[in-house]
A and B are shown apart, each in its own frame.
Chain A
Amino acid sequence: MNISLLDQTIVIVYFLGMIAIGASVASRIRSFDQFIIAGRQLSAPLLICTLVSTYYGLGVLLAGSEISYESGVVNWFFDTAPAYLAALFTGLVLTKKIRRHDVRSIPDIIYAHYGLVPRIFTAAASFIYALPAFSIIGIGGLFHALFGIPFEWGLIFGSIIALCYTLLGGLLAVALTDAVQFLLMASTLAIAAYLGLSQVGGIPEMQRLLPDHFEPTGGRPIALLFVYGLTSLSVLIEPAFYQRIFAARTHRDVVIALSAGVVIWMSYDWVITMLGIGAHAAVEQGLMPAPEHLDQAVSQFVLHVLPTGLKGLFAAGLMAAAMSTIDSYLLICASNIVYDIYQPLAKNKLNDRSLLLWTRVAMFFATIATILLCLYFSNVERLWIFITAILVCTALVPTIAAYYWPNVKRRAGQITTTVGFILVLIYYAWVDLLGAWDEEEIAYIWRGDLFGFSLTLNQDYGILYILPLVILTFLIAQLTPGGKK
């Protein structure tokens, strides 16, 4: 889907603009707090832009494209809607308590209540979760599709641009570039939806051609729908989400931003869903060829219906979706390494200047780690459930309990974070190494006997088994006598 010279120029101007924004705020960054939480000065409109554009990276667009093309509105009802409830709960209820304390990250919250070891496990889980592999792979594919350059070079080039402006301006540069990226993503998608859906004859024609696509469950197994619902719990401890909430000027800004943000999220997801079904309808009508990869169905459809000039803006919007996720998560990975893991373990505490310097160095290494991960794993779709499982099983229960369980015991957090983190790793390694790929289940499955019981373990369902175990472990450690509070 190579685009015209005019469209390519628009994309290049967008890149230069992002780097210019980073350079323009670089002189303001003089402390670690200014770099990592923008000196706690984000206002409501800027929070909306940065919350929406960070959470809606290229991964969400590609996954939404594939699911809605294949199965229809189930994408909105079961893959995205539970996340809105989790986001509202986090923003309106949880953050009010958390913002009262001087914390900068989720591991900070864990440390304040449970000590050093849980902090290290939580930071490690947060680091794994935050490596922006999906977006970096997406951007490699985009460079290849739009400019015809090799995937590997596109991946490296896109990462370097995101790294440049984030290294210069920290979270403030990320938030300012997110504002531009938010407008690009949302406005071009809205125009594309209007033109694209009209071209296939509107919703009634799509319903006539693809009636099954308008079934809310999409014919999927209930267990899988439940797993997708559970992955939305990650919003309750989403590192980028919390980072922005800590960076807000006031709690009122958070409430306004999340209330407006959820409405825009809902619209964004609905439009992607309709465009995915519209792409399928366009293929059925013979208006465009079937997409080679289903995750590219929406972008292929949109580039098919948009005129020259707007195609460039949409391409820049796609780049924006990837960039806004890469920059934010690289920042989180770096602060996990330096602030949450290295600093508490070091004998000599780093001063503010050194903390800032080493966070910038760590960002560079986090970028290299992500690029290597992307080059090693060609398919990262299944990685999403794994990284969500490790974050939720390690940090969810102790984080929520820290604020809502009176006199929470240190040992409860210590045992829970250790058990959650290690069990997820063991479960995935077990099924991966001892199980086999099952074409029917489309997953790694292990079948065998354990303690005299015949068991079948689906690798993707790990969170279903481990999260209840983690909750049980926490309750036992908390309710049995003894232990410091």
Chain B
Amino acid sequence: MNLYELATYIAIPLLGLGSLAVFIAFLLEFFRHPPDDSQSNDPQP
């Protein structure tokens, strides 16, 4: 197996499963903490 093959074997599941994992994380967070009107939590100077 050369590097191009290896990169492709990594990229396809990363794209498919990675996007699914991110979407599930988004759904879980969206239903646990729906967007509200609160402002940024960053410390302001």
Chain A residues packing against B (C-beta within 8 Å): 28, 34, 38-41, 43-46, 48-49, 73, 99-102, 172, 179, 182-183, 185-187, 189-191, 193-194, 197, 202-204, 207, 214, 248-251, 260, 263-264, 266-268, 270-271, 274
**Per-position 1/0 for B21-35, Cβ under 8 A of A:** 011011001100101
Once A45-B25, A49-B26, A274-B8 are accepted as A-B contacts, the answer to whether A39 and B39 lie under 8 Å apart by CB is: yes
Give every chain B residue within 8 A of A207 (Cβ-Cβ).
2, 4
Per DSSP, chain A at the interface is helix
In whole angstroms, what is the CA distance A467 to B17 when docked? Answer: 41
Knowing that A203-B2, A249-B40 touch, tell me 15 more A-B residue pairs with CB under 8 angstroms: A44-B25, A73-B4, A102-B44, A183-B23, A185-B19, A187-B20, A190-B15, A190-B16, A194-B12, A204-B5, A207-B4, A249-B41, A264-B14, A268-B15, A274-B11
Closest chain A residue, CB of each to CB of B16? A190
> Which residues of B line the A interface, CB within 8 A?
2, 4-5, 7-8, 10-20, 22-23, 25-26, 29-30, 33, 35-45
Which residues of A have CB within 8 Å of B36? 41
Known: A49-B26, A214-B4. A267 touches B37 (CB 8 A): no
Whole-angstrom distance between the alpha carbons of A34 and B40 in the complex? 12
CB distance from B43 to the nearest CB of A (A): 8
Known: A48-B22, A271-B12. A172 touches B35 (CB 8 A): yes
* A270: chain B residues within 8 A (beta carbon): 7-8, 11
Cross-chain pairs A/B with CB under 8 angstroms, 12 sampled: A38-B35, A41-B38, A45-B25, A73-B4, A101-B45, A182-B22, A203-B8, A207-B2, A250-B40, A250-B41, A251-B42, A267-B10
- How far apart are B45's CB and chain A's nearest CB, in angstroms? 5
Provide the main secondary structure of the chain B interface.
helix
- CB neighbours (8 Å) of B43 from chain A are 100
B5 touches A203 (CB 8 A): yes
Closest to A246 in B: B40
The 8 tightest CB contacts between A and B, nearest first, are A190-B16, A186-B19, A45-B26, A40-B40, A45-B25, A267-B11, A270-B11, A267-B15
In Å, the complex CA distance between A193 and B8 comes to 9
Contact B16 A179 (CB under 8 A): no
